[in-house]
Amino acid sequence: MNLYEEFDRVVAAFEEAGLHYALVGGLAVGMHGFLRATKDMDFLLHPDDLAATLGVMKALGYLQNSEPWTFKDTQLTLWRFLKPVPEPGDAVVVDVLVPKTTRHQEMIERSELYPMGDVRVAVVSRADLIDLKMDRGAAQDVADIENLEAVDGREQANS
């Protein structure tokens, strides 16, 4: 199964359901100018839309992988969904981050629409993406911050 084709289906379903969301994670890093490999889709979702999202994910054939859990010191609760695919031992992963703070909810409100595949997707701003990655601080997040800042520097130098 092609991740990008599945991404189009998920985003189209989010849009059709009127969900308030924003793309974060590796795909968002790519939308902001630094392409890197990723194995999943990550979305920041307004808490008021959680029940509707559970229905959307079920309708798309996704299963909730585990009980939701909150990242330490972030006030973001992770809901992980898997969609089994024909390849043995493989699945499409969608991580939905539900914020408990208005700071994170405002990131969704500030998101910008970008064309991607056959859909337009709401993507957090570069500054908000860096902020989210600073909150988490994992090795990939640190690398993403450095790459996003390098892209920003190149864009400023070219303008």
Query: pLDDT tens digits for 56-85?
Result: 999 999 999 899 999 888 899 999 999 988
State how far the alpha carbon of 14 is from the alpha carbons of 9, 22, 26, 35, in Å. 9, 10, 19, 24
What is d(CA 72, CA 130) in angstroms, rounded to the nearest whole number? 18
Report the alpha-carbon distance of residue 95 to residue 16 in Å, rounded. Answer: 19
Residue 129, pLDDT > 70, answer yes
For 86, the domain range is: 3-148
Which residue is listed with tokens 């590796």?
Answer: 26
Which H helix or E strand runs over 120?
strand 119-123
Domain presence at residue 154: no
d(CA 66, CA 48): 21
Residue 106 forms part of a structural domain:
yes
Name the nearest CA neighbour of 76 among 49, 93, 95, 94.
95
53 found inside a domain: yes
Establish if 135 belongs to a structural domain. Answer: yes
Comparing 141 with 92, the larger pLDDT belongs to 92
Return the pLDDT at 84.
86
Rounded to whole angstroms, how far apart are CA atoms 84 and 1? 10
Domain-located, residue 92: yes
Helices (H), 35-138: 50-59, 102-109, 126-136
**Structure tokens of 6?**
């599945």
Residue 106 has pLDDT above 70, yes or no: yes
Number of domains in the chain: 1
For residue 107, pLDDT beyond 80: yes
158 part of a folded domain = no
CATH number at residue 25: 3.30.460.40
Is residue 77 a part of any domain in this protein? yes
Q: Determine, yes or no, domain membership for 155.
A: no
